[in-house]
A and B are shown apart, each in its own frame.
Chain A
């Protein structure tokens, strides 16, 4: 019997959850078909803000995908046994995130029927080509490592020897996917908001905090909903990783802010002013402040000994939301506004856009549920 069969046997709650997700997916699909028919005009995108929520979500989930390295690295390289029960969860999270990234790129295309031109006419000078290579390679690596180790676990045989080199290869590869994604933006001379060498380090820092935050939340949810417990040690270690990555991320942002405002080159300051100036009538500014406040609040919780364990779920939610707002919204839109010609074009995602994004999130939730269900059933079967 296939491992996939395990996903077919579940409680009523499990099926209801999948059904709900399916409904959202169908709603997203309907709007996507409309977008296919009418063009990207049904989104909030415009001539001046030509990338929006889709690409921002793509960027954010590349980070989540890359963060799998934070469990793979300690487990495979430093033999940290605490991560034994969480590593495969991290790998499946990476797989699902990459799939979501691919979907976000796909729905953003104006001519999706020509998407294979990227392979038919490969252009090594374009970073998008390298992003495609690194993302698909990462997906493949993680899929092989996760499925082969899970299969070995189920058959109660040791995992084949060649898995370890692959797992270790996935570590630098994870760094590469987010670095290349940062280069997509930071290599554009005309967009001064992104034209900074710290963009790639910033991306990595935010990835290594948002990814573990999500993983901790998923682990806690599993503990609550099922009998599966990854162990206190693993969660504590993940929390430490998240804390320091978040600290570094905030530090990087402040470094950027200093450079921009002390040098005071208008081309650079305008973007920050657009994003953070309250009362300027910019619809993003309040959200950017929410992001900043959440980040500080999360750090306060994580650095206070009395709270760091008891309030961990809240801290994780704060970290995740803060970074989602910063990276999944502000970073992309902030790069486009003001436009090189100085135009301030407001961007607000439209209902179809939100629904399509929700549909892709649901695809992710659906897949992660199914994958985790398989993992948990296999472990349950082996342990009993």
Chain B
């Protein structure tokens, strides 16, 4: 098969040109222009976690299992090398500054689900030296595992411990690989991506769908009529360490 001049022009010239223009455009307008930017309505994906519902079914890890299966998250025995996208910690650990001296033990010891907060002003994307992690126009803090050099500056910058580093090859520690989602390679940082790949297909995040208690409410925070916004209007919610000015998009109903 001969490559005609037309082919040559199309594949090399145009793609190079297009890539160059795109690069130039990106550098001028700071955040990468996403397709959704074209739509008139702004989007900021967010999540509300109802802890009272979660407390009702203590010890249920359906959300974690769903996430692990969907994203090929390795189950590494060595705690030091663990990879976590969504996991649970005691209430006192998650909200250290929101504890009162005489709070009931049931509250302080309840397990609270944690995940990346997809901050409005994320410290991790600020420090990344290669723009391997960045905030999309729809508020999702994304990771580009092709570009990450593994410097772990974002791990140091994240105040929520949401980022994990692949200290070893994750593949041997994955029970069954979901071919639709890439595994990661050793030496890159990863974290929750708000199931960006499911959102693109019009689905809700895996944890949201998997929860039997409907603890998670996911939606567009920029839309005043969305489900999470209605919940936040009705009930008192907290964010993790709001005093750091990061503006988490994950809210907890206590």
Contact = CB atoms under 8 A, between A and B. Distances in A.
A–B contact, 8 Å CB criterion (strictly below): yes
Contact of B131 (A110, A123, A184, A345): A123
Contact of A340 (B80, B153, B159, B166): B159
B109 interface: no
A109 B159 contact: no
A41 B244 contact: no
A128 B157 CA distance: 12
Interface residues of A, number: 43
Contacts of A108: 151-152
Contact of A39 (B127, B160, B186, B241): B186
A109 B82 CA distance: 18
Contacts of A109: 149-151, 187
B232 interface: no
B80 A345 contact: yes
B225 interface: no
Given A40-B187, A117-B130, A118-B149, A110 B166 contact: yes
B42 interface: no
B152 A114 contact: no
A45 interface: yes
Find the residue from A47, A190, A345 having the highest chain B CB count within 10 A: A47
A111 B152 CA distance: 11
A336 interface: yes
B188 interface: yes
B246 A189 contact: yes
B38 to A, nearest CB: 24
Contacts of A189: 123, 157, 159, 244-246
Contacts of A289: none
**Which label, helix, strand, loop or mixed, suits the secondary structure of the A interface?**
loop
Contacts of B246: 189
Contacts of B81: 41, 46-47
**Which label, helix, strand, loop or mixed, suits the secondary structure of the B interface?**
loop
Interface in A88-135: 105, 108-112, 114-115, 117-118, 120-121, 123, 125-129, 132
Contact of A126 (B84, B96, B128, B167): B128
A11 interface: no
Interface string B201-245: 000000000000000000000000000000000000000010011
A342 B93 contact: yes
A51 B123 contact: no
Contact of B168 (A38, A50, A112, A125): A38
Contact of B152 (A39, A50, A112): A50
A341 interface: yes
B191 to A, nearest CB: 12
Nearest to A192: B159
B164 interface: yes
Interface string A273-310: 00000000000000000000000000000000000000
B168 to A, nearest CB: 4
Interface of A: 38-41, 45-48, 50-51, 105, 108-112, 114-115, 117-118, 120-121, 123, 125-129, 132, 184-185, 187-191, 335-336, 339-342, 345
24 contacts: A39-B166, A39-B186, A39-B187, A40-B167, A41-B186, A47-B79, A47-B84, A48-B80, A109-B151, A110-B186, A110-B187, A111-B150, A114-B150, A118-B130, A125-B126, A126-B129, A132-B129, A187-B127, A189-B157, A189-B244, A189-B246, A190-B123, A339-B161, A340-B241
Given A110-B149, A190-B157, A191-B156, 15 more contacts: A41-B168, A47-B79, A50-B165, A51-B156, A109-B149, A110-B148, A110-B150, A110-B186, A110-B187, A118-B129, A121-B132, A123-B128, A126-B127, A128-B127, A189-B159
